[in-house]
Structure 1
């Protein structure tokens, strides 16, 4: 093991950003990664990635962004007329049909967030080149927050589900916009895996060591044996707890645990209340051959099974039923364990936290399918599709469960252990 738990706080230590354990830095080959011995968070990523390689990737993503946004990815033919669907078209259709909140949510997760991450990547490169500590901090903060809300991968799966749903009603044709979307998703995923706040700050420090020393208004404190070490939430520099970060000058202050738990409970309560109408009220309404077909999430799954699509039905059942319930129960369990000061199974709760955070965005699949269907099945045609009020309730569930996950700091899971160590 390349790290070991450190009972005496030394200058060459790293504080885990997820459980606040101070671990001593030992010799570590560049090809190996290192993980926290308590919560298994990655503390050091081996096979050092050159930060300079992020810029060409960001440029390639920017080139693909426009065609991925506006070029049609799917077409259907109804009564001799071609109807096409694009990413921008789905957002516009939701907005024009009066579903403004859904349009904003879909636009946020598929258009705004990738654009912000790309712009922030360019700004980070600019900040390093022109020695701007302030803009580097802002850029990296934007990347860390917005990257969790990107759902282009969920959108690609939603295209496949929409195609299966429409194949019995019309002829389907995949267009070149689908290739642009797939390439953009691959490249932006590769870019996200390479973006590291710690690495950017290390590069900034290395290139502008003289500038940082001369222009910093922060006094670097010595780490005494009795000092309490903290991890800067912005640049992840381990340092003694004092007013401002030694590297990025961010204000470091004790977190308000009560406020965090209260906010998380509030978000979770809203999601719990909304999940009832989300499952009982129709999520979509389809007019075909003079008939009005209203589908809730469960009835839509049943229809897919009747139409010999058990695979698609299973995907929607897991993403739209199992995942939201698991998120609500999982977060509630963690919050109760924190409030009742449970002394065991900390790592189990950490695993649940990471699972909830990873699967959270996949509940968005039903909303994205609705946006695609609305684009293709226009009003006035033989097929007439519109979202139901259940779609709004379901979007509320997805949005607030993700907010609850983001507001819950995993450090609180380990709070009672850390308090014993510091006593």
Structure 2
């Protein structure tokens, strides 16, 4: 079922009449406000790169921790995959998001189609991978862990990280590819009035909505405006989701069995798996941190795998009830996916502060690689699963008759 609502006022929102998902968000945000936020975000990365967010005094030595230093040390320790994962989620994604917003506004001003296409592609695909908030939580966990070993000094870039998270969150909320493409179309029609203009207010099986720019058009392989793939391949979506899920499930075993961190304290080698690390935190009266690590590193990955498995089985057995509940489950699984990165961020920060060849020394274990695989492939599984499959066996007769005029507005 395709529902088209091309005309939405700035104070209106559009919702799907079947699952109540918000399809379009009406707002009065200006593009100039978006580019101002993006430029502020890019400027905030300067102190984040060059100034420490946390420093400690360990055995008389002053040690600083910056965002990129942990990545470099992970590479030096031989954990290149984990290093690239930390770099991508904590640094490359937010800075690329800001660059894409600036590029989109440049494309609007100078009518650059290719630049608009790739900038909106970046905004659409990267916003779910931005994890500055997870990184900030990881810093807090490291502070609790290191309190008993050293004196903590909060650096200049720590509050900057907090402001940067607010700026990036505002960009994610404000920037709408649909709005940018509509503005781009309006500027192009001034110089190219012969461009095709689609105005459809109907529900039809022969129409399809582009998931990226939300242009309603005839069913085809790619969007006629942004060239994003819109052809729905059911078997390909299911095969990719099953493949990612199987890899994540297999990797979950070594991730919980092989040590994820190794701590040398007073000449003793302490190897911790995820579970033993949680028990150690409980024994050291760090109950809150233990609960956070348990939820993020043990409960969330298992819940994601079971949730995706449940959705796939319901699709396979053609369940015809509780579609809305399964849709809510899908969005929950997609949202909680990034919080499993807490353990990997904690390792990169601990490696920066503690791995100094002193009496107290920290290094990651190979369980971190397997855990990184679990995090990545569960997130890829949710991205590969097309939510249209959840509604495949839903009877749309009643909803089609009661909503034949278009979307619902508020």
**Structure 1 length normalisation: TM-score?**
0.89
Match of 1:127? Answer: 107
What is the distance in 1 between the residues matched to 2:349 and 2:377?
23
CA contact (8 A) 1:54 1:194 kept: yes
Query: Partner of 2:346 in structure 1?
Result: 369
Could you say if the C-alpha distance between residues 31 and 419 of structure 1 is closer, same or farther in structure 2, counting changes exceeding 3 Å? closer
Alpha-carbon offset, residue 94 of structure 1 = 0.5
Q: Take 2:151 and 2:93, find their aligned partners in 1: how far apart are those partners?
A: 33
Change (3 A) 1:418 1:220: farther
User: Which residue of 45, 65, 77 maps to 1:97?
Assistant: 77
Partner residue, 1:274: 251
Do structure 1's residue 81 and structure 2's residue 61 form an aligned pair?
yes
Rounded to whole Å, the distance in 1 between the matches of 2:184 and 2:216 is 16
User: Which one of 56, 60, 63 corresponds to residue 36 of structure 2?
Assistant: 56
Which residue number corresponds to residue 13 of structure 2?
33
1 CA distance for matches of 2:180 and 2:197?
A: 21
* Residue 411 (structure 1) aligned with residue 388 (structure 2): yes
- Residue deviations 1:208-243 (CA, integer Å, cap 9, x gap): 3233534x4x58597898662210133101223246
Q: Does 1:229 align with 2:207?
A: yes
User: What residue is the counterpart of 1:167 in the other structure?
Assistant: 147
Cα separation, partners in 2 of 1:156 and 1:223, compared to 1, 3 Å: closer
Whether 1:157 aligns to 2:134 is no
- Given the two structures, how large is their TM-score scaled by the length of structure 2? 0.91
Instruction: Quote the residue 2:118 is aligned against.
Output: 138
The 4+ residue runs of structure 1 with deviation greater than 6 A are 221-227, 418-422
Q: Distance in 2 between matches of 1:196 and 1:24?
A: 16
Residue 22 of structure 1 pairs with residue 30 of structure 2: no
Q: CA deviation at 1:191?
A: 1.2
- Is residue 297 from structure 1 mapped to residue 274 from structure 2 by the alignment? yes
Q: Please, which runs of 5 or more residues in structure 2 have no aligned partner?
A: 401-410
Q: Quick one: higher RCO (CA 8 Å, sep 6+), 1 or 2?
A: 2
Within 2, Cα distance between the matches of 1:278 and 1:168? 28
Give the conservation status (yes or no) of the 8 Å contact 2:54–2:155: yes
Rate the CA distance shift 1:297–1:227 in 2: closer, same or farther, 3 A.
Answer: closer
How far residue 283 of structure 1 moved from its aligned partner, in angstroms, is: 0.8
Question: CA offsets, 1:6-26, max 9 Å, x none?
Answer: xxxxxxxxxxxxxx4426689
Structure 1 match to 2:87: 107
- Pair 1:208 & 2:185 matched: no
CA distance in 2, matches of 1:298, 1:225: 51
User: Please, which of 270, 287, 296 is the counterpart of residue 319 of structure 1?
Assistant: 296
> Residue 333 of structure 2 is aligned with which of 343, 351, 356?
356
Give the counterpart of 1:389 among 331, 341, 366. Answer: 366
Q: How many residues align?
A: 399
Q: Is the 8 A contact 2:222 2:231 kept in 1?
A: no
The runs of 5 or more residues in structure 1 that have no matched partner are: 1-19
- Distance in 2, matches of 1:52 and 1:418, equals 44
Q: Once the two structures are superposed, what CA deviation does each residue of 1:315-345 show, in whole Å capped at 9, x if it has no partner?
A: 1111111110110011111111112211111
| Contact 1:76 1:83 (8 Å CA) reproduced | yes
Q: Secondary structure at the match of 1:68?
A: helix
Q: Aligned residue for 1:67? A: 47
1:222–1:172 Cα change, 3 Å: closer
User: Structure 1 residues 384, 245: closer, same or farther in 2, change over 3 A?
Assistant: closer
For residues 287-313 of structure 1, the C-alpha deviation after alignment (integer angstroms, 9 at most, x for no partner) is 011111111111111111111111111
**1:272-294 Cα distance to aligned partner (Å, 9 max, x none):** 01111111111100001111111
